[in-house]
Amino acid sequence: MTEAGYVILSIDDLDRYEGATDEAPVLMPLRRRTGFRPFGVNCFSATAAGNHVIERHFERDGDEELYVVLRGAATFTVGEATFGAPVGTLVHVPPGTVREAVADDEYTVVLAVGAKPGEAWEPAAWEDFHIAFASRKSGDAAAARVLISEALGRHPNAWQGQFNAACFEALEGEADAAFEHLRRALELGPADVRDYVREDDDFTGLHADPRWPELAG
Amino acid sequence: MAGARRLTVAHVDELDRIMPDGFVWRPIRRHFGIRAFGVNAYTAPEVGAPIIEEHTESRLGHEEIYLVLRGKARFTIDGNEHELGPGELVFVRDPTLTRGAVSVADDTAVLALGGKPGAAHTVSAWEAMFAAVPAAREGRFDEAIAIHEEALVELPEHPALLYNLACMEARAGRHLDALLRLKRAVALEPEWAAIARKDPDFAEIRREPGFPS
């Protein structure tokens, strides 16, 4: 932001943070870059044609989302419907509907806009965790821990943050820290955490630990 | 797009094409019924056509992002000119800055995102006023009135909305409704009285008792 009260940039100026796997979408954090505060807005690209540009998910916290294809083309699946989406396509998805999109071209970029109706928007921790995991992947675990610590400070009572911190520490081989975060996540969201914990490959390194059955059993 | 519901997917060129005042509004939020944020598109068919009307966001306090989807537009922000092409954007944080844009390429499209930081999104009254323009222009005042009344459910004390509705009612021959609506608008924002005195929409009721003096 300049003193002028406005900023001009290209989506090519945005940072690119790859996801947990090579096929996962690349986050291009527009909200974070501009400081836009009213609602969530980010760009996503894919690592290659055929890979996800929007990961398969639904919005469990009530956010409605709009996706806008800015470059290239994508194949969206929303609920049971699959359709091609060239540049200029708008896809609106209510919270509980599962959605995903695969890039048809390697240079595909999709803008994602989201917020929960009737509530003032606040940045969610997932952006920090996406960037933290990308930093870890590129070898900078220290920078990742700083981001995670800041995110947990802003969202101390969100099970998702504690769960993701547990994933991170498990991948780093820090079992004590991983179990501590997992224990806290279970306190905050027992039903959700039990749904995810057994199937998450990030915890494979913890399975032989005697504490694992106690928490995940 | 086989299998996709009409209201889930649309191309920007499939949206309604409404010309409120020289520019072309493509109502995205209204099309999908989005409640959580403000989002619209604007298109211009040819070079030189206005695409974003000159305005500020002082009244609403909105932050805005304008992102060029295709073509090219010359934005003027606080007196400074910037030509932006596809994938380029301007984020206007300061709501008091004057902003506007003119197309400098054929077939330009701009996406506009906006909202007030720290507040749940509320639908802006101008959307209903814009949406009612085609019906009002074509003399379908009942339809224009219905669009305003729908917006008033959420914004019952919005002076501009009340004033516009009074205009529609006056032109529809609903003179008593128009007078009551106008009286309420003026009570909420007295400056509407002076505007009403010169507004041709009220020619039929200007001499009625109760018309704002």
Contact status, residue A28 vs residue A4, Cβ threshold 8 Å: no
Q: How confident is the model at residue A2 (pLDDT cuts 50, 70, 90)?
A: low
Q: What is the pTM of this model?
A: 0.91
Tell me the C-alpha distance between A32 and A18, whole Å: 16
Judge whether A72 and A87 are in contact, CB under 8 Å: yes
Q: Does A63 touch chain B (CB under 8 A)?
A: yes
Residues 6+ apart with CB under 8 A from B193: B186, B212, B213
Cα radius of gyration (chain A): 18
**Chain A nearest-CA residue for B110:** A88
Partner-chain residue, chosen from A91, A114, A117, that has the shortest CB–CB distance to B8: A91
Q: Which residue in A1, A4, A88 is closest to B11 by CB distance?
A: A88
* Tokens of residue B18, six digits: 């409404």
Contact (CB<8Å) B109/A9:
no
**Consecutive H or E run containing B144:** helix B141-154
**B53, B59, B65, B68: CA torsion to nearest 10:** -10
Question: Which residues from B are below 8 Å from A82, CB to CB?
Answer: 3
CA–CA separation, B66 and A8 (whole Å): 10
Token digits for B165?
């509705």
**Beta-carbon separation of B11 and A9 below 8 A:** no
Q: What is the nearest CA distance from B57 to chain A, expressed in angstroms?
A: 13
CA B84 to chain CA mean position, Å: 23
Please report residues of B whose CB lies closer than 8 A to that of A113: 37, 39, 113
pLDDT at A60: 83
The residue to which tokens 């780093």 are assigned: A172
Q: Which of B121, B122, B123, B124 to mutate to test binding with chain A, by most A CBs within 10 Å of its CB?
A: B121
Instruction: Give the angle A69-A9-A67 at the CA atoms, nearest 5°.
Output: 20
Q: How far apart are CA B49 and CA B21, in angstroms?
A: 11
Largest CA distance in chain A: 58
Contacts A44 to B, Cβ<8 Å: none
Residues 46-85 of B with CB under 8 A from A: 62-63, 65, 67, 69-70, 77-78, 80, 82, 84
Instruction: Note the pLDDT of residue B5.
Output: 45
- Asked if residue B1 has pLDDT above 60, the reply is no
Confidence of residue A4 (pLDDT cuts 50, 70, 90): confident
A81 touches chain B (CB under 8 A): yes
Note the pLDDT tens digit of each residue in B84-141: 999 999 999 999 999 999 999 999 999 999 999 999 999 999 999 999 999 999 999 9
DSSP 8-state assignment for residue B27: -
Q: What is the largest CA-CA distance in chain B?
A: 59
DSSP state of B18: B
Per residue in A5-41, pLDDT tens? 999 999 999 999 998 778 889 999 999 999 999 999 9
Query: In 3-state terms, what secondary structure has residue B140?
Result: coil
Question: Do B93 and A7 make contact, defined as CB atoms within 8 angstroms?
Answer: yes
Q: Which pLDDT does position B6 carry in this prediction? A: 47
CA distances from A7 to B42, B92, B93 (A): 20, 7, 8
Residues A203 and A188 sit within 8 Å (Cβ to Cβ): no
Selection from A48, A119, A109, A97 nearest residue B88 by Cα: A109
